[in-house]
Structure 1
Amino acid sequence: MPGIEAGGIAVVLVARSAIAAAPRAEMERLAGQVSGLHEIALATYAFTEQGQPALREVVANLRRRPFREIRLVPLLFPMEASFRAWIGRTLARWQLEWDTEGPAIRIGPGPNASERLTDLVSDLVETAGREKPFMPAEHPATTGSVVAAAHRRVLVCQGGPCNEAGAAAIWGHLRNEQEGQSLRTAGSGMMSATTSCLGPCSLAPVVQVWPEGTVYGGVNEAGIDAIIREHLLGDRPVESLAYPANGRKQALRLRE
């Protein structure tokens, strides 16, 4: 109802990723419970990495509606201290890209800050005690796996500086586009993976495309879109984002 939504509070339950229907349904159920709380005009959910709806899309849509504030509630345990930091920096970057005013956005501390966490864990321990004992299968599955014929591999760095620069959101955008555009088989085909530090930390977030070995730095969602369009599908490295492997120190170039 517009009268209730105007000036109200929107809540976004935030998880890392989900590609199957069951976890998405669970998030939907939790959001439905939250929507009944006092002052909550709307409750929904989003994923920071792979999965739909993506956090960027959800926040962008909510900012266009007349909420008083948007509360992001991470459902992660344990939750690393860096999570809130990179979410905050990523939100600031997104808002600069959107270039429009919107409601205040607050980021919650995560489940570890709740005084009721011990009660929740105790309940889960008791519930586990009512489950049937696990028994290994007598005949393990012998089904095979497909070895992809994809020509390219896209690596998204998950080292410390890249994580702090929001690499998880970049990874999620890549995976969602990979699924949406069928990139595993489109063009020369591609597979993607996260990796530990790729080396040029000052260029964070860093993405590398093989077999060319092209290193891309300062990659955001628009950069991923350009890499897909020009490099993966067009067979042309994106020169404006690429950094040559010349063995020399390089600083991140500023983009207009």
Structure 2
Amino acid sequence: MQRLADLAEGLGGAKVVRFAFTEQGTPSLREALFELVDENARRVILVPLMLPMEPSFHNWLTKTLKRWRAHDTRCWPAIAIAASPTASAVMTRMLEDLVETAEGLDLTPAGRAPIEGSLVPAQKRRVLVCQGGPCNSAGADAIWGHLRNQQERQKLRVAGDGTMTAKSTCLGPCNLAPVLQVFPEGTYYGGVTEEAVDRIIAEHLLGGTVVEDLAYHPTGRKQRLRHLTE
């Protein structure tokens, strides 16, 4: 990624070129963008380098950026988003170049592989991040990426009770998107932001206490996000 950033240096008059990840990886897009805001950047062009790119990616990213901006009082730069790599006129040439680098593979059957066992992890907690349509539209991928980055930084696999994180299909309460659920309690958290993830990690996963002002418990009645009804 750094090599790609180096290759892009100076393109379009860019003074600073940095790479970031929208999902899992360091630095996250949020971290990199906030650094540019701190540095008083006047214009930022986001160039997504991902294949395949979901048709809804631009809408999702726009909504996520709006959410970040709404909670930030600093002066933000103008932001533009480039099209998918497949929209580039030089894509065909790039594929030709890659084809020319092809090398043959040795597919001779190897000897019998040793039979190995697997270690069953001592994990008592599991965090599910909903990947249903409404949650994805509300920025679930950004939440997932932030959770995974924080998991690595705080070593949640060995801290507290041991934690596994995973994406899931629809968790149910779509109007509370984005939704995250923590087991073994089965606690639902709705309207989750990066700041909410930080609190859930510190108070619930590591501290063992449900974050009540972010949690939504089964009541038998329909519920709305609290910040929309207050």
Shift of 1:139: 3.0
Structure 1 residues 187 and 109, CA gap change in structure 2 (3 angstroms): same
Give the aligned partner of residue 132 of structure 2: 159
Query: Given residue 32 of structure 1, which amino acid in structure 2 is its aligned partner?
Result: D
Indicate whether 1:69 and 2:43 are aligned: yes
Give the aligned partner of residue 182 of structure 1: 155
How many residues of Structure 1 are paired with residues of Structure 2 in the alignment? Answer: 229
TM-score normalised over the length of structure 2? 0.93
Query: Given residue 87 of structure 1, which amino acid in structure 2 is its aligned partner?
Result: L
Query: Given residue 61 of structure 2, which amino acid in structure 1 is its aligned partner?
Result: I
CA contact (8 A) 2:123 2:163 kept: yes
Give the aligned partner of residue 114 of structure 1: 88
Indicate whether 1:246 and 2:219 are aligned: yes
Indicate whether 1:150 and 2:145 are aligned: no
Structure 1 residues 38 and 209, CA gap change in structure 2 (3 angstroms): closer
- Equivalent residues in 2 for 1:26-175, closer than 5 Å: 27-128=1-102, 130-140=103-113, 142-175=115-148
Structure 2 Cα separation of the partners of residues 246 and 137 of structure 1: 58
Indicate whether 1:198 and 2:171 are aligned: yes
- Structure 1 gaps of 5+ residues are 1-26
Structure 2 Cα separation of the partners of residues 140 and 121 of structure 1: 35
CA deviations over 1:106-136 (Å, ceiling 9, x no partner)? 11112021111122223323433x3334445
RMSD (CA atoms): 1.7
Query: Given residue 156 of structure 1, which amino acid in structure 2 is its aligned partner?
Result: V
CA deviations over 1:128-186 (Å, ceiling 9, x no partner)? 3x333444533335443322111110000011111111101101111111111111121
Shift of 1:47: 0.6
Structure 1 Cα separation of the partners of residues 222 and 107 of structure 2: 54
Identity of aligned residues (%): 55
Structure 1 residues 32 and 230, CA gap change in structure 2 (3 angstroms): same
Structure 2 Cα separation of the partners of residues 198 and 164 of structure 1: 15
Give the aligned partner of residue 192 of structure 2: 219
Shift of 1:247: 3.4
CA deviations over 1:38-71 (Å, ceiling 9, x no partner)? 5111111001112111110100001122433111
Shift of 1:238: 0.9
Query: Given residue 232 of structure 1, which amino acid in structure 2 is its aligned partner?
Result: L
- Structure 2 gaps of 5+ residues are none
Query: Given residue 131 of structure 1, which amino acid in structure 2 is its aligned partner?
Result: G
Shift of 1:96: 1.7
Moved more, 130-139 or 27-36: 130-139
Query: Given residue 77 of structure 2, which amino acid in structure 1 is its aligned partner?
Result: P
Structure 2 Cα separation of the partners of residues 196 and 137 of structure 1: 38
Point out the structure with the larger strand share. 1
Structure 2 Cα separation of the partners of residues 62 and 112 of structure 1: 27
CA contact (8 A) 2:40 2:75 kept: no
